[in-house]
């Protein structure tokens, strides 16, 4: 069995991926309810790994529940919580259980979460994690060069934040991730379209879009409060004042609709934007609105490959 996401991208379809955070507990029913809205609407669903450093059900376990429900997971792994031994054994484990996509991340710093006293591991960084998964897959070897008995064949993803500083270096860091082995990229949530256009132009100019599939990350704004929170309190987010103004200008009870309209406009532009191979929709705790967004964005039905 191969990655469906990989096949869709290789066939030249415009990919559409979703995201879901595992429950803060072992509530399988709650997880199943959330992901039921995503089935058939997206090509794969990212399962976050203790996102924002808050403890949740492990991303590999939640990914397996998705598989059981007939949904392709994109298993996320952060370097914050594991050393190279745990990283490699978890990779073997998820592959053995049928997981085929993996997103390699450094992880938010532990001080942001609900266990700020924790010791961050960071034995490897995201760049080295990407190279490790590639080595395990392509060379069939562990990081110490020992042979692997049945290597894991994973479709390797990485993240990119075009809105972090220093801006000019970002595109080079993306290039390094691609050189290290990333097959696809999912970007940080995009709100500042001017800056993203500039970033994509730089990426296309050095040919990065030809070496890797770049999926543009989006998150619909549910409220003015959410926009203000993202603008002020979330590291690496760039929410322009004009968007906050636009949401504020919406009629009473219509702010969420304005937020959805904004992402629909974004998706339309991404479909035409050079170098963008798809969209990654992170509808945080808004999974039930994904079918409507997918429908109105004109990305249904999802291709069968």
CB of 220 to another protein, least distance (A): 21
CB of 217 to another protein, least distance (A): 11
Of residues 82 and 246, the one with the C-beta less far from another protein: 82
Determine if the peptide bond prior to 100 is cis (ω within 30°). Answer: no
CB of 79 to another protein, least distance (A): 8
What's the min distance (Å) between Cβ of 174 and another protein? Answer: 11
> Alpha-carbon distance 46 to 42, whole Å?
10
Nearer to another protein, 8 or 131 (CB): 131
Please identify, using beta-carbon distances, which residue of 132 and 247 lies nearer to another protein: 132
- What gap in Å lies between CA 141 and CA 150, rounded to an integer? 10
Strands (E) located in the chain: 15-20, 45-47, 73-78, 101-105, 155-160, 184-189, 213-218, 276-281
Least distance CB 91 / another protein (angstroms): 15
d(CA 57, CA 72): 18
- Closest approach, Cβ 228 to another protein, in A, equals 17
Beta strands 213-218 and 276-281 are parallel
Q: Which is nearer to another protein, 24 or 172 (CB)?
A: 172
Query: Do residues 5 and 257 make contact, with C-beta atoms less than 8 angstroms apart?
Result: no
Quickly list H helices, 75-233.
Answer: 84-96, 126-134, 167-180, 193-205, 224-233
**Which residues bind to another protein, rule: CB under 8 A?**
79-80, 84, 106-109, 111-112, 120, 122-128, 131-132, 143, 159-161, 164-166, 169, 172-173, 175-176, 179-180, 188, 235-236
Strand partners, 104: 77, 158
Q: Which is nearer to another protein, 164 or 204 (CB)?
A: 164
């Amino acid at each position: 069995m191969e990655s469906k996401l990989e096949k869709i991208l290789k066939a030249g379809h415009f990919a559409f991926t979703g995201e879901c955070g595992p429950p803060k507990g072992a509530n399988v029913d709650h997880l199943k309810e959330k992901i039921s809205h995503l089935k058939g609407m997206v090509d794969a669903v990212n399962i976050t790994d203790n996102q924002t450093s808050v403890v949740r059900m492990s991303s590999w376990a939640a990914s397996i529940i998705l598989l059981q429900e007939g949904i392709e997971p994109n298993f996320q792994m952060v370097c914050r919580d594991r050393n190279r031994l745990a990283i490699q054994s978890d990779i073997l484990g998820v592959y053995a259980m049928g997981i085929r996509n993996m997103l390699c991340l450094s992880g938010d710093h532990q001080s942001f979460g609900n266990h700020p006293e924790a010791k961050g591991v960071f034995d490897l960084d995201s760049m080295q994690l990407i190279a490790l998964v590639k080595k395990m897959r392509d060379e069939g070897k562990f990081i110490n060069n020992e042979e692997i008995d049945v290597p894991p064949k994973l479709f390797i993803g990485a993240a990119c934040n075009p809105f972090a500083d220093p801006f000019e270096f970002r595109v080079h860091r993306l290039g390094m991730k691609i050189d290290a082995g990333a097959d696809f990229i999912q970007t940080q949530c995009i709100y500042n379209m001017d800056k993203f256009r500039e970033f994509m132009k730089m990426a296309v100019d050095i040919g990065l879009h030809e070496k890797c599939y770049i999926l543009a990350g989006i998150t619909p704004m549910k409220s003015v409060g959410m926009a203000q929170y993202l603008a002020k309190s979330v590291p690496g987010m760039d929410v322009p004042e004009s968007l906050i103004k636009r949401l504020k200008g919406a009629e009473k009870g219509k702010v969420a609709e304005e937020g959805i309209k904004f992402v629909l406009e974004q998706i339309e532009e991404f479909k035409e934007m050079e170098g963008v191979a798809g969209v990654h929709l992170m509808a945080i705790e808004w999974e039930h609105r994904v079918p409507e967004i997918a429908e109105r964005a004109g990305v249904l039905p999802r291709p069968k490959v």
